[in-house]
Amino acid sequence: MTSNQTDCHYCLQSLRGRKYALREENAYCVTCYDSLFANPCEECKKPIECDSKDLAYKGRHWHERCFNCAKCSRSLVEKPFAAKDELLLCTECYSNEYSSKCFHCQKTIMPGSRKMEFKGSSWHESCFVCQYCRQPLGTKPLITKDNENYCVPCFEKQFAHHCYSCKKVITSGGVTYHDQPWHKECFVCAGCKTQLSGQRFISKDEYPYCVDCYSKFYAEKCTACKKPITALGGAKFISFEERQWHGECFNCAKCSVSLVGEEFLTKQDDVLCNECGSAS
């Protein structure tokens, strides 16, 4: 810039026919302007003269020729770059030194690209997909099996158990009956519908029954005490001529000695030990 009308605001020398620079509407000769206002270059420490391009980043300044990658020295002018510990690096050097590697493809996740993180590992957004349907998982709920990630619908379709009763997915807990999975709340007595999970029950025709319902509907009655014989817990019972007894009830009708495993005689509806039977 030249002028034939002003003097330098600092040294008062004429600017006629000379280059000058303006600052806050005041004109300065190039020498005064550089000594007063030029920013020092971050790289070479020399002033960035008014006739040089001043490149600035976060309050620091560089000559255009000095604005280079701190590792490979390639120019960063009008190119993407990244900063690390106050050093400026081209994207390639930054990636090689500091960027995460994708857990799936093992390639560098470039600065500026979206990175997904899960369980301490990083993925490219395009690599973080459901193992089955290959759709991006993003921030959606997911389930991991054998180090592979699945969206919830695909995991349920491929791996989850379905309740034998209601056919819906069992997401947690559940019980197994006749090699079939059930929700705890679906595993109920076929008679009274009481939940049987954690309770004693008896099977009849592939259906589970609580002890009370089984006794009510199906259990044989003891000839002696008339109570149901459920055989729960492996309890013994005796059967003779279409009559049944609890093991503890199968006693001589006269002397009450146990007849379990012993010879006995019958007299009308009574069972008797040999001694009582012979004496009568």
Close Cβ partners of 161 (under 8 Å, ≥ 6 residues apart): 169, 170, 174, 181
pLDDT averaged over the chain?
A: 85
Whole-number pLDDT of residue 234: 55
Alpha-carbon span 138 to 60, nearest angstrom: 37
> Is pLDDT of 80 > 80?
yes
Whole-number pLDDT of residue 178: 83
CA-closest candidate to residue 16, choices 28, 26, 2: 2
Task: State the burial class of residue 259 (Cβ atoms within 10 Å of its Cβ: 0-12, 13-18, 19+).
Answer: buried
Q: What is the mean pLDDT of residues 61-88?
A: 92
- pLDDT tens for 173-195 read 788 888 888 898 899 998 898 88
72 pLDDT tier (thresholds 50, 70, 90):
very high
Token pair recorded at residue 172: 């947690």
Whole-number pLDDT of residue 64: 93
Close Cβ partners of 217 (under 8 Å, ≥ 6 residues apart): 191, 204, 209
DSSP label of 134: -
280 pLDDT tier (thresholds 50, 70, 90):
low
Whole-number pLDDT of residue 18: 86
- pLDDT tens for 135-172 read 988 888 888 888 889 998 888 888 878 888 888 888 77
Residue 160 phi/psi, 5-degree rounding, is -70, 145
Task: State the burial class of residue 110 (Cβ atoms within 10 Å of its Cβ: 0-12, 13-18, 19+).
Answer: middle
Alpha-carbon span 111 to 84, nearest angstrom: 12
Token pair recorded at residue 97: 């030194």
Whole-number pLDDT of residue 3: 46
> Is pLDDT of 130 > 70?
yes
Q: How far is CA 22 from each of CA 14, 48, 60, rounded to the nearest angstrom?
A: 14, 16, 22
Token pair recorded at residue 278: 């012979």
| Percent of the chain clearing pLDDT 70 (strictly above) | 95
235 pLDDT tier (thresholds 50, 70, 90):
low
Query: Identity (one letter) of the amino acid at 37?
Result: F
Whole-number pLDDT of residue 231: 58
Q: How far is CA 256 from each of CA 184, 259, 272, 275, rounded to the nearest angstrom?
A: 45, 9, 9, 12
> Is pLDDT of 233 > 80?
no
Alpha-carbon span 107 to 101, nearest angstrom: 5
Alpha-carbon span 134 to 261, nearest angstrom: 69
Q: What is the mean pLDDT of residues 245-270?
A: 90
Q: Which helix (H) or strand (E) holds 95?
A: helix 91-98
* Cβ pair 84, 111 in contact under 8 A: no
Whole-number pLDDT of residue 242: 80
